[in-house]
């Protein structure tokens, strides 16, 4: 029997999605069930293995949903696994950091990530991420859990409402960005068009990175969800430059926060390495599935997953 090519291209995304859901739901169910009996004791490799499987699925969804691994990792793992939030945040930062380090060189070489744009922004965000990490480790866990839940639900709203502008209209660059010579040129591969870009509202944008840095450090989330709207919608960088610079920016912001967590003992290798491997392998599969899936459907699934994890974090923090 020969299956026509056309039908396979239609079936593949649906099958892929079905597989993802089939894989993730029993794992999540097993995770919740096993959590209830976590004290009964499992072989040492049980939780790292579950972590590897879940982060693999997460890596696929992260790529297809256009979000960073960290933003899915922290609420889901802290909500459904027996790990304390301190270790989840430390691991989440290393997951986000590794993803950014892996993507950074290519984005810089292609001139999609702009070092000139990233340097001043990163200086503010990384300094504030240190403050955020210290606040996050000093506050009681339930307070952080509540704030995390609220932040995740806020991210859902942002994902539902925020618009994107491929080529924002920047009439004139502001004085600060002109003085710092933050502008550039890139070629849009799909059309061959050469795009000259510049930014505006730089002082306001830099002020917002104070808040973004603090939140990235406090929750160990990575901060792509906030970087992109500020760079693109507020400061007027083209969407591709914003996305690439944001990804690269995480390698600097998360470095400062990650050191605070590492130096305060929040790193357990048995959590870190399976998570890194899972997310990386999942991302590789996700990139392949990207061509055959419908981004809008995946985006809704990611928003639903985040919403669920956000409510769970909120309830956990409130002790409900």
Partner 1 sequence: MADKQGAKLAAGPEQIVYASVLEKGMYIGLLILFITFALYAFGIMKPYIPLDQISQYWSTNVHDYLEHAHIKTGWSWLGMLKYGDFVNFLGVAILAGVTIVCYLRIIPVLLKKNDKVYAVLALLEVLVLSLAASGILAVGGH
| Residues forming the site for partner 1 (CB under 8 A) | 38, 41-45, 47, 82-84, 86-87, 94, 97-98, 101-102, 104-106, 108-111, 114-116, 119-120, 122-123, 126-127, 130, 134, 137-138, 140-141, 179-180, 185-187, 194, 251-252, 255-260, 262-273, 276-277
Cβ neighbours for 199, distance < 8 A, ≥ 6 positions apart: 117, 170, 173, 174, 177, 182, 183, 205, 231, 235, 236, 237
Angle at 206 between CA 202 and CA 209, to 5 degrees: 145
Supply the minimum distance, in Å, between the C-beta of residue 226 and partner 1. 20
Q: Which residue in 281, 275, 288, 227 sits closest to 254, CA to CA?
A: 227
Supply the minimum distance, in Å, between the C-beta of residue 100 and partner 1. 9
Tokens 């929040």 map to which residue? Answer: 266
Residue 2: half-sphere exposure toward Cβ, Cα within 13 Å: 3
Taking the C-alpha atoms of residue 261 and residue 12, their distance in angstroms, rounded to an integer, is 41
Beta strand pairing call for 193-198 and 183-188: antiparallel
Supply the minimum distance, in Å, between the C-beta of residue 119 and partner 1. 5
Q: Of 189 and 294, which has the nearer Cβ to partner 1? A: 189
**In which element (H, E) is residue 154 found?**
helix 141-161
Task: Compute φ and ψ for 251, nearest 5 degrees.
Answer: -65, -25
Q: Of 83 and 209, which has the nearer Cβ to partner 1? A: 83
Q: Of 97 and 230, which has the nearer Cβ to partner 1? A: 97
Supply the minimum distance, in Å, between the C-beta of residue 305 and partner 1. 23
Taking the C-alpha atoms of residue 150 and residue 50, their distance in angstroms, rounded to an integer, is 27
Q: Of 112 and 170, which has the nearer Cβ to partner 1? A: 112
Supply the minimum distance, in Å, between the C-beta of residue 260 and partner 1. 6
Q: Of 85 and 298, which has the nearer Cβ to partner 1? A: 85
Q: Of 242 and 256, which has the nearer Cβ to partner 1? A: 256
Residue 263: exposed, middle, or buried by beta-carbon count in 10 A (0-12, 13-18, 19+)? exposed
**Helix-strand-coil split of the chain, %, nearest 5:** 75, 5, 20
Q: Of 12 and 130, which has the nearer Cβ to partner 1? A: 130
Supply the minimum distance, in Å, between the C-beta of residue 64 and partner 1. 23
Q: Of 31 and 293, which has the nearer Cβ to partner 1? A: 31
- Residue 258 contacts residue 128 (beta carbons within 8 Å): no
Supply the minimum distance, in Å, between the C-beta of residue 229 and partner 1. 24
Supply the minimum distance, in Å, between the C-beta of residue 38 and partner 1. 7
258: left (phi over 0), alpha (psi -120 to 50) or beta: alpha
């Amino acid at each position: 029997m020969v299956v026509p090519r056309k039908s396979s291209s239609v079936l593949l995304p649906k099958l892929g999605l079905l597989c993802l859901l089939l894989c993730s739901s029993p794992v999540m169910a097993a995770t919740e069930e096993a959590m209830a009996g976590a004290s009964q004791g499992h072989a040492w490799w049980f939780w790292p293995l579950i972590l590897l499987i879940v982060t693999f699925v997460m890596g696929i969804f992260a790529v297809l949903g256009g979000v960073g691994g960290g933003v899915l990792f922290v609420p889901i793992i802290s909500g459904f696994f027996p790990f304390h939030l301190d270790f989840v945040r430390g691991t989440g930062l290393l997951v986000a950091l590794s993803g950014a380090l892996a993507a950074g060189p290519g984005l810089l070489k292609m001139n999609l990530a702009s070092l000139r744009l990233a340097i001043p922004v990163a200086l503010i965000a990384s300094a504030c991420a240190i403050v955020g990490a210290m606040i996050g480790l000093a506050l009681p866990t339930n307070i952080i859990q509540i704030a995390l839940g609220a932040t995740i639900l806020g991210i859902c709203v942002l994902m539902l409402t925020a618009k994107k502008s491929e080529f924002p209209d920047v009439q004139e660059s502001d004085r600060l960005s002109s003085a710092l010579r933050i502008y550039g040129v890139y070629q849009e591969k799909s059309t061959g068009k050469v795009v000259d870009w510049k930014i505006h509202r730089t002082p306001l944008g830099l002020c917002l990175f104070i808040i973004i840095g603090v939140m990235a450090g406090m929750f160990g989330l990575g901060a792509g969800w906030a970087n992109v709207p500020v760079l693109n919608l507020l400061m007027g960088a083209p969407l591709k430059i914003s996305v690439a610079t944001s990804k690269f920016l995480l390698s600097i912001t998360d470095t400062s926060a990650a050191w605070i967590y590492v130096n305060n003992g929040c790193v357990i290798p048995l959590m870190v390495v399976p998570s890194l491997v899972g997310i990386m392998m999942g991302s590789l599969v996700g990139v392949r599935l990207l061509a055959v899936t419908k981004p809008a459907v995946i985006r809704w699934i990611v928003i639903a997953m985040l919403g669920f994890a956000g409510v769970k974090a909120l309830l956990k923090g409130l002790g409900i």
